């Protein structure tokens, strides 16, 4: 089977943050990122969010992708992904059946220094899967 056939038009991009959801946790995380950024555990959040909001270039990039986007915190991920265990943070491609495909792993995100590099890598991976024809 061709890789493009493996991911239907209903495939979703799932971004899973290594942080818990909720307003109190968001405030705590913002302070942590500001005071001790080197020890902040979510590289995906550190790359793509400022103090309180998603960086505008990342937001534009994501919402131009022709996929549904799902944003999950670690406390929501196991339930939403059917108990799938994975290292966080991660960016996944979920076709709705079976385990989601890891597009960008925790190790890759943790080593990443710039959003532009993340955007390029994500486009490359989506093209490799056949979801995007660039």
Residue numbers of the domain that contains 29: 3-129
Q: What is the pLDDT of residues 54-109, one digit of tens each?
A: 999 999 999 999 999 999 999 888 788 777 788 999 999 998 777 899 999 999 99
Is residue 25 scored above 50 in pLDDT? yes
Give the span between the Cα atoms of 45 and 122, in whole angstroms: 15
Query: Residue 20: inside a domain, yes or no?
Result: yes
Query: What is the arithmetic mean of pLDDT over 11-35?
Result: 85
Give the span between the Cα atoms of 25 and 104, in whole angstroms: 24
Is residue 134 scored above 70 in pLDDT? no
CATH number at residue 60: 3.40.30
User: Can you give 50-101 as a three-state secondary structure string?
Assistant: CCCCECHHHHHHHHHCCCEEEEEEHHHHHHHCCCCCCCCCEEEEECCCCCCE
Query: Residue 15: inside a domain, yes or no?
Result: yes
DSSP H/E element including 126: helix 115-129
DSSP H/E element including 104: strand 101-104
Query: Residue 134: inside a domain, yes or no?
Result: no
Query: Residue 57: inside a domain, yes or no?
Result: yes
Query: Residue 10: inside a domain, yes or no?
Result: yes
Tell me how many domains the chain contains: 1
Query: Residue 90: inside a domain, yes or no?
Result: yes
Q: Across the chain, what does the average pLDDT equal?
A: 87
The distance in angstroms from the start CA to the end CA of the chain is 21
pTM: 0.86
Is residue 2 scored above 50 in pLDDT? no
Stronger pLDDT, 112 or 32, i.e. the higher one: 112
């Amino acid at each position: 089977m061709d890789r493009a056939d493996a991911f239907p038009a209903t495939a979703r991009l799932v971004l899973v943050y290594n942080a818990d959801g909720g307003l109190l946790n968001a405030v705590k995380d913002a302070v942590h990122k500001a005071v001790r950024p080197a020890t902040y555990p979510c590289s995906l959040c550190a790359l793509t969010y400022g103090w309180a909001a998603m960086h505008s270039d990342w937001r534009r990039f994501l919402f131009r992708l022709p996929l549904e986007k799902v944003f999950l915190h670690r406390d929501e991920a196991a339930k939403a992904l059917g108990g799938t265990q994975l290292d966080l943070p991660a960016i996944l491609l979920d076709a709705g059946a079976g385990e989601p495909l890891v597009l960008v792993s925790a190790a890759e995100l943790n080593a990443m220094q710039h959003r532009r590099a993340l955007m390029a890598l994500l486009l490359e991976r989506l093209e490799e899967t056949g979801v995007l024809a660039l």
